[in-house]
Amino acid sequence: MITKEQIFDSLRDIIDPEIGINIADLGLVYTAEDKDGHIHVTMTMTTAACPMGGMLKDQAKGTIKKRFPDAKSVEVELVWSPPWDAEMMSDSAKKIMGRIK
């Protein structure tokens, strides 16, 4: 079984091109689960108007498929609730953004 942590780790390879931080540490990935080989991820964007949404969603799906080739299916769903907030970032992302020292 693939763990949530393994899926999140694979998504750290995807860098938000507008911010320069990976989507996992940026807090864009909400859930990640493997149910009998079917991987489902929910993620969001910093705003609903983000022009990178489709591209980042496709990159996430492709990265997961590449990292876990034995997965039966991979679904990445964009959600808007709850809305993204800077407090969702990891401490390392907050440091990069100058939010904490």
Q: pTM to 2 decimals?
A: 0.93
Residues with Cβ within 8 Å of 73's Cβ and at least 6 positions away in sequence, in order, are: 37, 38, 39
* Cross-sheet strand order for the sheet of 73-78: 29-35, 38-43, 73-78
Domains in the chain and their CATH numbers?
Answer: 4-85 (3.30.300.130)
Cα 94 to Cα 89: distance, rounded to the nearest angstrom: 6
pLDDT of residue 100: 66
pLDDT of residue 101: 59
Tell me how many degrees the CA angle 39-40-42 measures, rounded to the nearest 5. 150
Of the chain, the end-to-end C-alpha distance in Å amounts to 37
Tens digits of pLDDT across the chain (101 residues): 999 999 999 999 999 999 999 999 999 999 999 999 999 999 999 999 999 999 999 999 999 999 999 999 999 999 999 999 999 999 999 998 887 65
